[in-house]
């Protein structure tokens, strides 16, 4: 096992917010490479999120955000397993970041599973019309790619995160679940805008 310095562990902890022991293990596993250690911690976070997804989330917070100028407002409900996690600074920061995301990117739903099937079929029909004359072998692949971009536009969890476009909102949620060690779900949101 690679020996890693306390400074390196602290750097990783500041970047990720994950506990010291998890940071140390990730750095040892990656030979002290911080970027690779971040990737290891993200994979671990996804595994924790998957494992805890079925747990009951009957605690949480409702957070409100009014954008400067008072023309856009967002109200969001985020659920978690315990009142302790609901009251943490990390949860409030996550809720605030999601409100900024919703104010800026105007998602219509949380996940692609919530998108109306009729709307998806309508989009698919438009794409098929656009692709007339293309080889049939690649049309399905192109349509799937276009649908993924469509989901990025309208589904909160598929959107690039407003503060770091290298990750999605779904990745941000998985990271928070890994850090908190319990199931966290975005229950619902509403966006208000003057003139809309």
Joined tokens for residue 39: 């990737």
What does each C-alpha distance from 161 to 93, 99, 151 come to in angstroms? 14, 11, 14
| Nearest one of 181, 184, 152, 180 to 168, comparing CA atoms | 152
**65 and 96 Cβ atoms separated by less than 8 Å:** yes
User: Are residue 40 and residue 72 in the same domain, yes or no?
Assistant: no
Joined tokens for residue 61: 């917070």
Report the DSSP pairing between strands 72-80 and 59-66: antiparallel
Structural domain count, the chain: 3
Joined tokens for residue 157: 């969890």
User: Are residue 101 and residue 44 in the same domain, yes or no?
Assistant: no
Q: Which residues 6+ apart lie within 8 Å of 171 measured at CB? A: 42, 161
- Tens-of-pLDDT digits for all 196 residues of the chain? 567 788 888 887 777 766 777 778 888 888 888 888 877 777 776 556 566 666 667 899 999 999 999 999 999 999 998 889 999 999 999 999 999 999 999 999 999 999 998 998 998 888 888 888 888 778 888 888 899 999 999 999 999 999 999 999 999 998 898 888 888 999 999 999 998 7
Quick one: 69 exposed, middle or buried, by C-beta within 10 A (0-12, 13-18, 19+)? exposed
Joined tokens for residue 99: 């409100």
Write down the pTM of the prediction.
Answer: 0.72
Q: What is the DSSP letter of 109?
A: B
Joined tokens for residue 33: 């490479």
CA distance 83 to 81: 7
Joined tokens for residue 30: 């990656």
- Does some domain include residue 45? yes
**123 and 169 Cβ atoms separated by less than 8 Å:** no
Residue ranges making up the domain that contains 15: 6-52
Annotate 131-146 with DSSP letters as a single string: TTTS-HHHHHHHHHHH
User: Are residue 148 and residue 174 in the same domain, yes or no?
Assistant: no
User: Are residue 102 and residue 172 in the same domain, yes or no?
Assistant: yes
User: Are residue 101 and residue 126 in the same domain, yes or no?
Assistant: no
User: Are residue 128 and residue 43 in the same domain, yes or no?
Assistant: no
User: Are residue 126 and residue 182 in the same domain, yes or no?
Assistant: no
- Does some domain include residue 1? no
- Does some domain include residue 83? yes
Tens of pLDDT, residue by residue over 99-138, are 999 999 999 999 999 999 899 899 888 888 888 888 877 8
User: Are residue 139 and residue 175 in the same domain, yes or no?
Assistant: no
Please identify which residue in the block is written with the tokens 């996940």: 111
């Amino acid at each position: 096992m690679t020996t890693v310095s306390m400074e390196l562990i602290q750097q990783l902890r500041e970047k990720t917010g994950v506990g010291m022991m998890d940071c140390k293990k990730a750095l040892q596993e990656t030979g002290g490479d911080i970027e690779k250690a971040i990737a290891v911690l993200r994979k671990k976070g996804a595994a924790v999120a998957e494992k805890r997804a079925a747990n009951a989330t009957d605690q949480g917070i409702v957070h409100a955000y009014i954008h400067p100028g008072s023309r856009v407002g967002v109200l969001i409900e985020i659920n978690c397993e315990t009142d302790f996690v609901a009251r943490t600074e990390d949860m409030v920061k996550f809720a605030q970041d999601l409100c900024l995301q919703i104010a800026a990117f105007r998602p219509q739903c949380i996940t692609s599973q919530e998108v109306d099937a009729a709307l998806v079929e309508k989009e698919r029909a438009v794409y098929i019309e656009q692709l007339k004359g293309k080889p049939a072998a690649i049309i399905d692949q192109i349509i799937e790619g276009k649908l993924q971009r469509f989901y990025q536009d309208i589904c909160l969890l598929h959107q690039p995160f407003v503060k770091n476009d290298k990750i999605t909102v779904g990745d941000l949620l998985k990271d928070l679940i890994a850090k908190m060690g319990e199931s966290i779900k975005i229950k619902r949101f509403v966006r208000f805008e003057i003139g809309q």
